[in-house]
Chain A
Amino acid sequence: SQQGEEDPQALSIQEGENATMNCSYKTSINNLQWYRQNSGRGLVHLILIRSNEREKHSGRLRVTLDTSKKSSSLLITASRAADTASYFCATEQAQAGTALIFGKGTTLSVSS
């Protein structure tokens, strides 16, 4: 089963623009993580935000978490062609198990 739901499914922007992806989830969580996947490759961990945190930054990435709305957003500023990839949110549920549950992802295309 998949917990997270990313929005939009696909996003196309020009280099230098900002990209915002959203993630909604269903159950209480311990933390939420964002991963990037280049075509046909494994996933790369980008950033983790705990349930008691509201915002986190890492380089050009900014993640927000609103536990009351069960939603998160990932902002990539000043995008580059190399940011072209699929982006997934993943949640560690508070009640059940320890494995991350992934959403279906947002496919980002950055053109130069």
Chain B
Amino acid sequence: DTGVSQNPRHKITKRGQNVTFRCDPISEHNRLYWYRQTLGQGPEFLTYFQNEAQLEKSRLLSDRFSAERPKGSFSTLEIQRTEQGDSAMYLCASEGDKGPHYGYTFGSGTRLTVV
């Protein structure tokens, strides 16, 4: 297991279309996080899973956004009826049990451009 994998790396879509991103975390990590990052800003928290349970959702996660982690392994983030304001880098991170304090392991992100 080489790290957190995100697909696709880039996505260009027309306004109003739906998009889905996938994140494959480190296999032994039970916590998975989604963040959104716009240019010049730090990552903003969207949602968090512990195994298959979605335990936290940010107010940023409008009803057009939905995330799943059906078997406690990979996760998907879907954005319906995309808007230009959704253009951002979507980052996924995973974390194991808090023993050695290694922090989060981030994927390389999916860059979404809504035109």
Contact = CB atoms under 8 A, between A and B. Distances in A.
Contact of A99 (B45, B89, B91, B109): B45
Interface stretch (A14-22, A39-47, A73-81): A39-47
A101 B45 contact: yes
A44 B106 contact: yes
Interface stretch (B14-22, B35-43, B66-74, B75-83): B35-43
A59 interface: no
Contacts of A1: 44
Contacts of A104: 40-42
Interface in A68-112: 88, 90, 97-105
B104 A100 contact: yes
Bin the interface of chain A by size.
20 to 34
A97 B93 CA distance: 16
Interface of B: 4, 31, 33, 35, 40-45, 48, 55-56, 89, 91, 93, 101-109, 111
Contacts of A40: 89, 111
A24 interface: no
A102 B48 contact: no
Contacts of B56: 97-99
Contacts of A11: none
B105 A45 contact: yes
A1 B41 CA distance: 11
Contacts of A43: 43, 91, 93, 104, 106
A4 to B, nearest CB: 7
B101 A88 contact: no
A112 to B, nearest CB: 25
A57 to B, nearest CB: 14
B42 to A, nearest CB: 4
A48 B102 CA distance: 7
A4 B42 contact: yes
A2 B102 contact: no
B43 A102 contact: yes
B104 A88 contact: no
Interface string A12-53: 000000000000000000010101000011111100101000
